[in-house]
Amino acid sequence: MAFKKEYSYAILDVFTDEPLKGNPLAVVLQADGLSDDIMQSLAREFNLSETVFVCPPKKDKNDAFLRIFTPFSELPFAGHPTVGTAVLLACHSLGDVTLPTDKTIQLEEKIGSIRCGVVVKPEGGGHATFALPQLSEKVGSCDSHFHLAEALGLKESDIGFDAYEPGIYSAGTSFTLVPVKSLEAIQRIKPCQEKWAQAFEVTGRDNAFVFTRGGEDERAAFHARMFWPNAGIVEDAATGSAVAAFSKAILDFEKLQDGHHSFLIEQGFEIGRPSRILLEIDIEEGAVLDVRIGGNAVILCKGTLYL
């Protein structure tokens, strides 16, 4: 059988420094020869929450243009694909590294240009941090605690804690953010597909990023879970773009003062894929100066596609 072309790919685990933890990511390199339909089919074939296709940049100053697909659709921006691909490209460009090495990777996504600082680790993989290309904003409200609770298999009294209330926020990709009162409550969640549309699709966003204060890791500021069944994501292990959207909710409800603020958000514990996402917010004279997402990534395997 004759193949048209070979494409290299890698699988990484993102928002973790341990293989087989965190959120898995497929990255296909030199993918500009692939059609949109083939990219979408490959994303379904890998069947991970996201698959990245690395294409030549549209601007010479950048290193690559990323196309990001869930099993069912393309996204303009996503966090764990940005972190994972930045680490992979940094490792690829440096070859064999014997000492921790700093590298800057300039990516393009449909949302715009994203500058990533990467520390490549000698044992493989690295840590990447990027500034949000678009600050989060609130784009909608959720009127019914009852319907949210029903869809999540919770009691209405489980919804909300402190000043936090549900809402829809976006930093490029929008999410329905649902605060729940305790770690015990968030661990009880059992999504109900029959109730899902009434709770989430009527808001124009059919996903749910559910969070509570604290976590299993004593360093965690928040514990989260994310469900997006209509995108083929029953439960996501780590959702950087949701944490990016969540940054505005923190600003709305925490009343942060000027200075640097750092929050560790843990996710994926309930599905055996513990993940840790670092959210950093800088405020100056009452205004948001910068918001950054960071995390580790490890390269699990590399291979070849024959298409």
Identify which of 12, 48, 20 has the alpha carbon closest to the alpha carbon of residue 273: 20
Bridge-partner residues for 19, per DSSP? none
214 CB-near residues (< 8 Å, 6+ apart): 183, 220, 221, 222, 223
DSSP state of 201: G
Give the Å distances, CA to CA, from 136 to 35, 212, 251, 291: 31, 19, 10, 9
159: number of Cβ within 10 Å: 24
9: phi then psi, degrees, rounded to nearest 5: -145, 165
Identify which of 139, 152, 148, 156 has the alpha carbon closest to the alpha carbon of residue 252: 139
Residue 50 among the catalytic residues: yes
d(CA 116, CA 131): 7
d(CA 227, CA 210): 8
Give the Å distances, CA to CA, from 285 to 62, 82, 105, 249: 32, 30, 30, 19
Marked catalytic residue, from 6, 50, 108, 150: 50
Alpha-carbon 214 to chain mean position: 20
Following DSSP, what letter does each residue of 248-259 receive, concatenated? HHHHHHH-PPSE
Identify which of 263, 291, 260 has the alpha carbon closest to the alpha carbon of residue 277: 263
Catalytic site residues?
50
